[in-house]
Amino acid sequence: MGGNSIDKTQDRQIICSLRLPLSVRDSAVPRHLTYRLEYVIPLLLLALLVALKVIYLFAFRIDSDETQHLHVIWGWANGLLPYRDLFDNHSPLFQFLCSPLFRALGERADIVIPMRLAMIPLYFFSLWFSSSPQNSGPMIYGRRFGCC
C-alpha cells in the first residue's frame, strides 16, 4: 500500500508541474490592452448589433405576428379591453407598453416601421436588465455575463 500512495503523490506532482510554455503564458499583448479589449470588443459588437437592427427594421417583410400585436395595441389605444372586447393569445404587457406610442403616432399606414423602432430600446432594456448585478444573470453565469 505504501508504494501506491507514493505513486499518487508523484502523479500529482507531475500534473501540477505541467505548465504552459513561456510563449503562451507571457503573451505578446500586454495586460492593460487585454483589459481594454474586454470592453472595446463588446461595445463594437453592440454597435454592430444596433446597425443591423436598424437595417433589418426596413429590410424585413411585415410578419403576421406584428399585425396581430398592432391590432391589439390599436384596441387598447381606442379604449377596448383585452380579453373582453378582443382576444389575443399573448400576455398584455407588451401591448400595454406600446399603446401610448401608438396613440401618439395615430392611425397610419406605415405604423409598423415606427413601432419596430420603438422595440429597439425595449430590446436593450431587456439586455441590460438580464445582465444587471441585481438580477440573476451575473449570479448564474458570472460577472462578465452581458458585458457588465
Report which of 94, 93, 98, 97 is spatially closest to residue 114, judged by C-alpha positions. 98
Give per-residue burial for 24-35: e unless 16+ CB within 10 Å, then b. Answer: eeeeeeeeeeee
pLDDT tens-digit readout, 117-142: 988 888 888 877 776 666 666 666 66
Q: Which band of pLDDT confidence, cut at 50, 70 and 90, is reported for residue 23?
A: low
Q: Is the pLDDT of residue 29 over 80?
A: no
- Higher-pLDDT residue of 4, 38: 38
pLDDT tens-digit readout, 73-122: 999 999 998 888 988 888 888 888 889 999 999 999 889 999 999 888 88
| Claim: this prediction has a pTM higher than 0.85 | no
| Distance spanning both ends of the chain, measured CA to CA | 52
Which helix or strand (DSSP H or E) is residue 115 part of?
helix 112-131
Q: How distant, in Å, are the alpha carbons of 82, 84, 95, 101, 117 from that of 79?
A: 10, 11, 13, 14, 24
